[in-house]
């Protein structure tokens, strides 16, 4: 049996504006993972995804599913016939809620295929294959999800620029609160595009302000300044509200976290539902978690951003 996995991710700052060329910061959540496990199957290649209610037989015919597309892309890249395997993909990451479940499942599946066929590829190549599938899920994704998930490192991401890994100088504790409402990133991204096309002179300054606060956020992470980062998260949430991608549920959770003493809170990812994040000190974890649950969060995860071991990662 061969297994491989990939983490969830959260966007700390800069979602949506990143689609328009502004920087964004995302971090992996290594404690929440998608896994893929391969077992010999003498009949051919089969992908089983119990969470998605899917059994895909990838013999000869072209199966129309993102997981089938990813499989074809990987096998084409390594020039390999479909191996005789049953690959089961499973994920602890809630679906369609801004935590990158799609990119994590794709990455885990690609890794197990590569391991089972003994064909190592560069992370950069894997990243571009997963990005192809992200386009099917999201329309015009910036590529931030697949990048942070494939590299499993904090990233300072600018569309179509070389990847910059972030050096984090301090321990930051986050709680992730799930509204329980799924929302399609594609729709939120499309709505922001429509707003932008309607009145670019009004929307561009909002995007620019987000870009400016992301740069300040990078500095906060690199100097270990949690209070500064918290303030920037609050400001980012306000600007995301102006882009219409928050929701009453997200606003309620953000307000509850702040009222319970969090240093900052904002929606994370595509918005309209899905997850929000709160930056806290470790001693606030129980209080803020209780406040989030009382305000309607159906799940609360903790994510600790560890100080980078290497001061010069990039």
Q: List residues near ligand PMV by CB under 6 A.
A: 11, 15-16, 18-19, 98, 100, 138, 141-142, 144-145, 185, 189, 269-270
Nearer to ligand PMV, 230 or 271 (CB): 271
Residue 278, SS3 per DSSP: strand
The residues near 175 (Cβ < 8 Å, ≥ 6 apart) are 257, 262, 277, 278, 280, 285, 288, 289, 292, 300, 301, 302, 303
Q: How far apart are CA 68 and CA 85, in angstroms?
A: 14
Smallest distance, Å, CB 39 to ligand PMV?
30
Smallest distance, Å, CB 119 to ligand PMV?
28
Place of tokens 């015919």: 61
Angle at 244 between CA 213 and CA 209, to 5 degrees: 20
Smallest distance, Å, CB 272 to ligand PMV?
9
Residue 93, SS3 per DSSP: coil
Smallest distance, Å, CB 263 to ligand PMV?
22
Residue 148: closest CA among 307, 285, 305: 305
Smallest distance, Å, CB 314 to ligand PMV?
21
- What is the SS3 assignment for 160-216? CCCCEECCCCCCEEEEEEECCCCCCHHHHHHHHHHHHHHCHHHHHHHHHHHHHHHHH
Do 49 and 36 form a contact (C-beta atoms < 8 A)? no
Nearer to ligand PMV, 153 or 284 (CB): 153
Place of tokens 């009222």: 259
Strand order in the sheet with 172-178: 264-268, 275-280, 172-178, 299-305
In the set 57, 145, 178, 191, the catalytic residue is 145
Task: Examine the residue annotation and report whether 191 is marked as an active-site residue of this protein.
Answer: no
What's the Rg (C-alpha) of the chain?
Answer: 19
Smallest distance, Å, CB 142 to ligand PMV?
3
Q: Which helix (H) or strand (E) holds 298?
A: none
Q: Please give the positions annotated as active site.
A: 145
């Amino acid at each position: 049996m061969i297994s491989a996995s990939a983490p969830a991710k959260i966007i700390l700052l800069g979602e949506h504006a990143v689609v328009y060329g502004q920087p964004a910061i995302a971090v992996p959540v290594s404690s929440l993972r998608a896994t893929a496990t391969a077992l010999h199957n003498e009949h051919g290649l089969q992908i089983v995804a119990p969470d998605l209610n899917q059994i895909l037989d990838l013999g000869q015919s072209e199966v129309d599913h993102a997981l089938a597309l990813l499989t074809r892309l990987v096998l084409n890249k390594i020039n390999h016939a479909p191996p005789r395997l049953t690959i089961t993909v499973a994920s602890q990451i809630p679906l369609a809620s801004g935590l990158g479940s799609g990119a994590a499942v794709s990455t885990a599946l690609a890794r197990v295929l590569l391991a089972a066929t003994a064909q190592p590829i560069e992370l950069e190549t894997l990243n571009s294959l997963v990005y192809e599938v992200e386009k099917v899920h999201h329309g015009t994704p910036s590529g931030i999800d697949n990048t942070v998930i494939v590299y499993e490192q904090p990233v300072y991401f600018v569309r179509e620029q070389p990847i910059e890994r972030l050096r984090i100088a301090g321990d930051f504790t986050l709680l992730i609160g799930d509204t329980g409402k799924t929302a399609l990133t594609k729709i939120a991204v499309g709505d922001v595009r429509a707003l932008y096309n309607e009145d670019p002179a009004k929307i561009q300054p909002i995007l620019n302000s987000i870009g400016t606060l992301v740069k300040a956020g990078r500095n906060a992470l690199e100097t270990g300044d949690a209070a500064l980062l918290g303030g920037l998260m609050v400001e980012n949430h306000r600007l995301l509200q102006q882009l219409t991608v928050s929701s009453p549920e997200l606003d309620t959770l953000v307000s509850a976290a702040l009222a319970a003493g969090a240093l900052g809170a904002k929606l994370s990812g595509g918005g309209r539902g899905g997850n929000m994040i709160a930056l806290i000190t470790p001693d606030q974890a129980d209080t803020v978690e209780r406040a989030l649950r009382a305000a309607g969060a159906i799940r609360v995860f903790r994510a600790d951003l560890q100080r980078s071991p290497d001061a010069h990662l990039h």
